[in-house]
C-alpha cells in the first residue's frame, strides 16, 4: 500500500504574514488540507487550486468535528497516498491536541513531520509591544490551559507556580474560568493589582488588546464573555513600559 505523508503545521496566530516559509511550501504541495477556524482565510491562498480543503475547527459552544474524526480523516487521506497538511492555529505543540494526531498516525505507520508556528503567546506580547521575560523581573514564562476536558478550571493546577509574582504566566482558553482562577490566585498571595493583558483574535483584523489588572479582568469576564478566541497574560511585564 502506498502511504502518503502528513505535515502537522502551525499557522501562527492569524496573520498570514507570520506563516513560515516552510509552511507556505507545504501548503503549496498539499493534496488535502485540514484547517482550523483561525488558520483559514488568506492562508489558504497558498494551496493549489485543486487541493481539497476541509474545515475541522473546534470552537467552544459550537458544533464541530470531534478529535477522533479529525484523526480518522488524516489517516484515511494519507492511506490513500495523499500529501496531507493539518493546519493548526498558533504552534501545534502548545495546547493543540497534537499528541492525539501523532498517536493516530504512528498507529497507521504514516510518516509525518511537525512544522512549528509562531505561538499566539509570543504574538500577543509582540502586538502589545511587550517582552515575555526581563532579567530582573520576569525570569520565567509558563504556559497553562484555562480548562480541563470538562471545561472546568483544572483541579490539579500548581497554585504556587501560578501565583509566582516573578513569572510571566500565559493562560490559554481562559475566558470562562479566569474569575475562578483569580480568586484562587489572590487566596495564594498574588495581588489583584497584578498587571494583565487579554489578547483577542491576535493577528486578525479585529484583534483587540485589553490592558487591566487580574482583578479587573476577572470582574469583566464574570459579567460578560464574548466568543472571540483569546488568551490572558499576567505578571510584572504586562503593562505599558
Contact 3, 30 (CB under 8 A): no
Nearest 5°: CA angle at 123, between 119 and 128? Answer: 150
Q: Are strands 208-213 and 195-200 parallel, antiparallel or unpaired?
A: antiparallel
Per-residue exposure over 64-88, b if at least 16 CB sit within 10 Å of its own CB, e if not? bbeeeebbebbbebbeeebbbbbbb
At residue 75, φ and ψ (nearest 5 deg) are: -65, -45
Q: Which H or E run contains 7?
A: strand 5-10
Distance in angstroms (rounded) separating the CA atoms of residues 3 and 225: 45
174 vs 75: CA distance, rounded Å: 31
Which of the following is catalytic: 22, 37, 58, 228?
A: 58
Is 31 tagged catalytic? no
Q: Is 58 one of the catalytic residues?
A: yes
Catalytic residue among 15, 22, 31, 36: 36
Residue 182, CA distances (Å) to 17, 44, 94, 213 in order: 35, 38, 22, 10
* Helix segments in the chain, DSSP class H: 21-29, 67-79, 98-107, 120-127, 159-162, 178-187, 214-223
Active-site positions? 36, 58
Amino acid at each position: 500500500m502506498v502511504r502518503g505523508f502528513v505535515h502537522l503545521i502551525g499557522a501562527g496566530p492569524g496573520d498570514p504574514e507570520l506563516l513560515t516559509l516552510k509552511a507556505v511550501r507545504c501548503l503549496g504541495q498539499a493534496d488535502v488540507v485540514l484547517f482550523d477556524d483561525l488558520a483559514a482565510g488568506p492562508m489558504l491562498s497558498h494551496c493549489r487550486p485543486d487541493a481539497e480543503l476541509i474545515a475541522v475547527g473546534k470552537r467552544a459552544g459550537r458544533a464541530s468535528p470531534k478529535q477522533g474524526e479529525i484523526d480518522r480523516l488524516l489517516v484515511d487521506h494519507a492511506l490513500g497516498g495523499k500529501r496531507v497538511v493539518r493546519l493548526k492555529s498558533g504552534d501545534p505543540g502548545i495546547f493543540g491536541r497534537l499528541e492525539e494526531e501523532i498517536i493516530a498516525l504512528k498507529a497507521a505507520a504514516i510518516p509525518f513531520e511537525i512544522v512549528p508556528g509562531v505561538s499566539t503567546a509570543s504574538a500577543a506580547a509582540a502586538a502589545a509591544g511587550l517582552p515575555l521575560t526581563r532579567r530582573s523581573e520576569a525570569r520565567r514564562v509558563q504556559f497553562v490551559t484555562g480548562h480541563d476536558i470538562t471545561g472546568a478550571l483544572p483541579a490539579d493546577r500548581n497554585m504556587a507556580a501560578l501565583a509566582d509574582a516573578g513569572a510571566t504566566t500565559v493562560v490559554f482558553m481562559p475566558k470562562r474560568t479566569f474569575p475562578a482562577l483569580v480568586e484562587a490566585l489572590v487566596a495564594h498571595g498574588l495581588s489583584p493589582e497584578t498587571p494583565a493583558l487579554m489578547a483577542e483574535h491576535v493577528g486578525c483584523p479585529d484583534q483587540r488588546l485589553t490592558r487591566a489588572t487580574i482583578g479587573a479582568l476577572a470582574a469583566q469576564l464574570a459579567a460578560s464573555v464574548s466568543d472571540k478566541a483569546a488568551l490572558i497574560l499576567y505578571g510584572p511585564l504586562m503593562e505599558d513600559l
